[in-house]
Amino acid sequence: MLVAGQILGGIGMGATLSLGALLAAQLSGSPAWSGMAATMSTLGAALVAVPLARLAQNRGRRLSLATGALVAGTGAVLAITAVAVDTFPLLLLALMLLGAGSATNLQARFAATDLASTRFRARDLSIVVWSTTIGAVLGPNLFGPGEAVGRALGLPPMTGAFAFSLLATVGAATVYTVGLRPDPLLTALASRGVSASGPRARGGLAIVRTNRSARYAVAVIALSHATMVALMSMAPVHLREHGATLTVVGLTISLHVAGMYALSPVFGWLADRLGRTPVILTGQALLLAALALFWLAGDSSTAMTVGLILLGLGWSASVVAGSALIAEAVGVGDRAALQGFSDLSMNAAGAVGGASAGLVLSAVGYSGLGLATMILAGIIVAWTVARAGRARSSD
């Protein structure tokens, strides 16, 4: 059921990801505001991450995931309305609510670890991440069919894909509500004698302050996500400015999203076999390769496509291995709180990355954006090397 819900959630996310940037530029009248699409989406995901985690801790994954999906569906309705009345602030609110879909998909990956053994935790998590591939790759390619459906329904131009998003999110909520039985988190808590209605677990911030492993894992996921969002959110605008059609934009973003999700089981298997740290370093190497390509050849459509695929692969390796560290850094009683804080940090970092990307793009172009974001990957590499050095010295 988690896989089915992820597929539907991926359609809802992928169908609107690129359109959000284009509509933000259209309604605001300036491409400098296009980065606000990713910013508001990731901000919305950040705002609901902790409430959804608390709902999961108290009432289970089933209710939490269904609630997040329905909030995203409300965002799809508001997005269509915003374009119809030509109101940029309403579009920003809609994109914020749509961000709840991303938060829901992120939480679903942790639901896969609730009952997983340590030996296969990264693999089980990565399979749920992988299932997003189907919907997320299909979503951007619904631009054309969405326009046809939109015209038939009398919707404003470039909003037909939001109708698909609405149907997908309602479908995902139904799948979670009906099919996710028994609830994985409530079952895990009960098996360890922890009551969901008992004393509240520690907050995620308190855990990160005292737990080195949790602090490192949260930083890996957050900074990797900020890097990915900064470059991905500006890609549709950059491609359109260089004459790409909506179809080409959709195909390019589909390949990027395929990089994000399609090989996640491979990275999960490697994280279980080789350890979390080597896979995190592999992810950062892939991110740096993508950023170097954008820096050196950012005006080439071929370089853009290859770079976006590498960007997705680097994100996948880093997030899968980092999420496995999150799941095993604390006991099950504290797990939902830490996971919620991690998703909050991840999306807050993405929001900052998306907001900054538009300004950097306007100032120094896409190549300069690729160069600037190398700093984030460099921080993770330095931290990882220092962490490995401390581990060797303590042996």
Find the length of the chain: 395
* Model confidence at 87: pLDDT above 90: yes
What CA–CA distance (Å, rounded) separates 369 from 373? 6
- What number of other Cβ atoms are within 10 A of residue 211's Cβ? 17
What CA–CA distance (Å, rounded) separates 277 from 89? 42
What are the residue ranges of helices labelled H in the chain? Answer: 2-28, 35-59, 61-85, 88-111, 121-138, 143-153, 160-179, 184-191, 204-210, 212-241, 246-261, 264-274, 276-297, 301-329, 332-372, 374-394
Cα dist from 351 to 156, 346, 383, whole Å: 27, 9, 23
Whether residue 395 is contained in a domain is answered as no
Across the chain, mean pLDDT equals: 85
Whether residue 287 is contained in a domain is answered as yes
The amino acid occupying position 89 is P
Boundaries of domain holding 292 = 2-389
Encoding tokens for residue 16? Answer: 């609107």
Q: Check residue 214 and give its pLDDT.
A: 94
- Under DSSP, the state recorded for 331 is -
Whether residue 176 is contained in a domain is answered as yes
**pLDDT per position as a tens digit, 210-243:** 999 999 999 999 999 999 988 987 887 777 776 6
Average pLDDT over residues 383-395: 81
Whether residue 196 is contained in a domain is answered as yes
Q: Check residue 291 and give its pLDDT.
A: 95
| Terminal-to-terminal C-alpha distance of the chain | 43
- What number of other Cβ atoms are within 10 A of residue 287's Cβ? 29
* Residue predicted with more confidence, 129 or 266: 266
Sign of CA dihedral 319, 321, 324, 329: negative
Q: Which of 30-39, 133-142, 175-184, 309-318 has the highest mean pLDDT?
A: 309-318
* Model confidence at 195: pLDDT above 60: no
What CA–CA distance (Å, rounded) separates 351 from 346? 9
Whether residue 394 is contained in a domain is answered as no
Whether residue 179 is contained in a domain is answered as yes
Whether residue 345 is contained in a domain is answered as yes
Encoding tokens for residue 95? Answer: 């994109």
What CA–CA distance (Å, rounded) separates 223 from 206? 20
Angle at 284 between CA 281 and CA 288, to 5 degrees: 140
* Residue predicted with more confidence, 318 or 240: 318
Whether residue 172 is contained in a domain is answered as yes
What CA–CA distance (Å, rounded) separates 270 from 284? 15
Supply the CATH number for residue 205's domain.
1.20.1250.20
What CA–CA distance (Å, rounded) separates 238 from 260? 20
Q: Which of 66-70, 228-232, 353-357 has the highest mean pLDDT?
A: 66-70
State the total domains in the chain: 1
Q: Check residue 67 and give its pLDDT.
A: 95
Label residue 188 by pLDDT band (50, 70, 90): confident
* Residue predicted with more confidence, 375 or 35: 375
If DSSP states are collapsed to H, E and C, what string results for 191-229? HCCCCCCCCCCCCHHHHHHHCHHHHHHHHHHHHHHHHHH
**pLDDT per position as a tens digit, 250-268:** 778 778 878 888 899 999 9
Label residue 328 by pLDDT band (50, 70, 90): confident
